[in-house]
């Protein structure tokens, strides 16, 4: 009873932190079981922790090859961890409560509101039902398409297993694959079905469940919320602009697009533009990209996916608010306006806080890793950003990380999945309402 009372006193951010940490710990113990490895030898704790953290935080960075090291049981455990991590442990627990017809309490709704990054509790349980329904439908349909395509390359039973496993991984923006030798989807750079199915899953999982719900309801309502409009506009612009930059930078690079025909170049450019939205899969060699392209992908990874999605990063809406603030300042305007709607200052302050905290985390961890890891600065920055934004793309540093480096990357994946503000609220002390205000001061800026 006392433990239950203490749990009830915890704030929603702290419950989220402890919940995700508990699932990671359980996943670590399960992956350490000898039956989870094909060799029958227990996976070392640090490697099991890294894999479980990467799965629950839907990142995709790996220190052992998923397809060759783990047994079927180990692979199924990873898929379950990905699904729980992508949808959120509170979403899964709410689903169980709904299945047993148990009433969702006010406190649970508050935690769900925090987990789904919503401004209000209104309709939160209805949203959870939609989240689960959309996820299962999209994974089932796209998993079937994968299975049909891969049935030409492998036994039918294996094709079905691979199809649904990778559909879960792609929709949840996890980036795990089972093709062996850390190849990801490089063997399918020319394949339109695999490319378009994977890209659709990545984008669907990355735009967020609020936007998916708006799009599904659009034929009836004939309207989109401001949030959905900004997310769709930003996502579209980043994909097209990213593909154009990658196409131009890598057009003559023999290690990436240079040796491909025009169809391969276009598919490769668009896939590599979409995958930094925190997906982690790749169809060309990331280590073979030119440094300018790698740095550009770092910027795309930093922006990441959209709020309420399975992805990480500072989010597309945060990025657009920051761009809007710059434009408003340059035009001498006080308000940021999107689609004839003015944003509250609270939103602007939150976007600024998220961006600065994310930059501070990435810069700090990158500096620390440059002292502990024997690799170049760009490779370390790429890996750190990939971990924080829960992307999973790697230039090859993951396999060479020291034990300390693995722990630092685990921390970055954990912080990125929860979000820097949620983590800060969970670690900080609860603040009361300010009883007074200080007099306004003036500073010279710029």
User: Could you tell me which residues come within 8 angstroms of residue 326 by beta carbon, excluding any fewer than 6 positions away?
Assistant: none
In the chain, domain spans: 10-423
Q: Would the pLDDT of 377 be above 70?
A: yes
pLDDT at 7: 45
Per DSSP, helices labelled H in 32-104 are: 45-56, 66-69, 72-87, 89-99
In this structure, of 136-150, 207-221, 233-247, 423-437, the range with the lowest mean pLDDT score is 423-437
Rounded Cα–Cα distance for residues 402 and 311 (Å): 26
Q: What is the pTM of this model?
A: 0.89
pLDDT at 417: 83
User: Could you tell me which residues come within 8 angstroms of residue 396 by beta carbon, excluding any fewer than 6 positions away?
Assistant: 287, 379
pLDDT at 3: 43
DSSP state of 338: E
Helix (H), strand (E) at residue 341:
strand 341-342
Rounded Cα–Cα distance for residues 425 and 428 (Å): 5
Share of the chain above pLDDT 90, in %: 51
Cα angle: 145, vertex 151, 156; to 5 degrees: 110
**Rg value, the chain, Cα:** 22
Q: Would the pLDDT of 2 be above 50?
A: no
Cα angle: 306, vertex 307, 308; to 5 degrees: 120
Phi-psi domain of 73 (left: phi exceeds 0; alpha: psi -120 through 50; beta: other): alpha
- Residue 99 has phi, psi (to 5 degrees) of -60, -35
Rounded Cα–Cα distance for residues 162 and 143 (Å): 8
pLDDT at 312: 83
> For residue 339, with 0-12 CB atoms within 10 Å meaning exposed, 13-18 middle and 19 or more buried, which class applies?
exposed
Average pLDDT over residues 381-397: 92
Average pLDDT over residues 126-143: 84
Handedness of CA 106, 108, 110, 112 (dihedral sign): negative
Buried residues in 268-281 as b, exposed as e (16+ CB within 10 A): bbbbbbbbbbbbbb
* 48-91 residue pLDDT tens: 999 999 999 888 899 999 989 999 999 999 999 998 888 765 56
Average pLDDT over residues 247-264: 92
- Residue 429 has phi, psi (to 5 degrees) of -85, 150
* 310-356 residue pLDDT tens: 778 899 999 999 999 888 888 888 888 888 888 888 888 888 888 99
Rounded Cα–Cα distance for residues 53 and 140 (Å): 25
> For residue 177, with 0-12 CB atoms within 10 Å meaning exposed, 13-18 middle and 19 or more buried, which class applies?
buried
Average pLDDT, the chain: 85
pLDDT at 350: 85
For residue 96, what pLDDT band results from cuts at 50, 70 and 90?
A: low
Rounded Cα–Cα distance for residues 395 and 387 (Å): 12
Share of the chain above pLDDT 70, in %: 83
Helix (H, G, I), strand (E, B) or coil at 337: strand
- Residue 338 has phi, psi (to 5 degrees) of -125, 125
* 136-188 residue pLDDT tens: 899 999 999 999 999 999 999 999 999 999 999 999 888 899 987 888 888 89
Measured CA to CA in angstroms, residue 389 lies from 58, 206, 294 at distances of 10, 12, 15
Rounded Cα–Cα distance for residues 336 and 351 (Å): 12
pLDDT at 244: 97
Average pLDDT over residues 255-279: 91
pLDDT at 5: 47
Residues belonging to the chain: 446
Q: Would the pLDDT of 413 be above 70?
A: yes
Q: Would the pLDDT of 4 be above 60?
A: no
Q: Is 266 within 8 Å of 274 (Cβ atoms)?
A: no
CB atoms within 10 A of CB 111: 24
Q: Is 19 within 8 Å of 114 (Cβ atoms)?
A: no
- Residue 412 has phi, psi (to 5 degrees) of -65, -40
* 354-375 residue pLDDT tens: 899 999 999 999 999 999 998 8
Q: Would the pLDDT of 107 be above 70?
A: no
Please list the residues that pair with 337 across neighbouring strands. Answer: 342
| Among the listed residues 166, 200, 186, the one whose alpha carbon sits nearest the alpha carbon of residue 277 | 200
């Amino acid at each position: 009873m006392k433990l239950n009372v203490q749990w009830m006193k915890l704030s929603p951010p702290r419950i989220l932190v402890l919940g995700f940490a508990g699932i990671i710990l359980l996943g670590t113990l399960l992956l350490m079981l000898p039956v989870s490895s094909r060799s029958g030898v227990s996976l070392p704790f640090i490697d099991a922790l890294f894999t479980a953290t990467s799965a629950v935080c839907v990142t995709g960075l790996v220190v052992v090859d998923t397809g060759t090291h783990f047994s079927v049981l180990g692979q199924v455990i990873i898929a379950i961890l990905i699904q729980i991590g992508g949808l959120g442990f509170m979403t899964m627990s709410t689903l169980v409560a709904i299945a047993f017809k148990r009433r969702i309490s006010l406190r649970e709704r508050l935690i769900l509101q925090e987990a789904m990054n919503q401004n209000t509790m209104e309709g939160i349980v209805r949203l959870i039902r939609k989240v689960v329904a959309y996820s299962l439908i999209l994974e089932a349909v796209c998993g079937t398409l994968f299975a049909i395509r891969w049935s030409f390359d492998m036994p039918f039973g294996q094709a079905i297993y691979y199809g649904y496993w990778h559909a879960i991984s792609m929709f949840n923006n996890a980036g795990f694959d089972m093709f062996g030798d850390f190849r990801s989807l490089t063997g399918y750079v020319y394949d339109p079905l695999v490319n378009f199915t994977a890209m659709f899953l990545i984008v669907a999982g990355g735009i967020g469940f609020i936007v998916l719900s708006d799009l599904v309801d659009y034929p009836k309502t004939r309207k989109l919320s401001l949030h959905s409009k900004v997310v769709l506009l930003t996502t579209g612009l980043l994909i097209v602009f990213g593909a154009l930059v990658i196409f131009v930078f890598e057009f003559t690079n023999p290690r990436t697009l240079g040796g491909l025909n025009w169809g391969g170049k276009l598919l490769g450019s668009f896939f590599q533009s979409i995958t930094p939205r925190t997906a982690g899969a790749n169809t060309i060699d990331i280590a073979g990209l030119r440094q300018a392209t790698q740095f550009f992908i770092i910027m795309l990874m930093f922006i990441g996916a959209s709020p309420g999605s399975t992805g990480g990063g500072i989010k597309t809406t945060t990025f657009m608010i920051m761009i809007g603030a710059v434009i408003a300042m340059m035009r001498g305007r006080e308000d940021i306006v999107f689609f004839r709607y003015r944003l509250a200052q609270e939103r602007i302050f939150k976007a600024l806080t998220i961006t600065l905290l994310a930059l501070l985390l990435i810069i700090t961890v990158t500096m620390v890793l440059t002292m502990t890891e024997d690799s170049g600065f760009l490779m370390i920055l790429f890996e750190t950003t990939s971990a924080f934004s829960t992307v999973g793309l790697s230039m090859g540093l993951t396999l060479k990380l020291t034990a300390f480096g693995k722990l630092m990357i685990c921390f970055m994946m954990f912080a990125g999945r929860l979000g820097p503000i949620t983590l800060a609220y969970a670690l900080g002390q609860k603040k009361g309402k300010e009883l007074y205000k200080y007099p306004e001061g003036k500073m010279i800026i710029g």
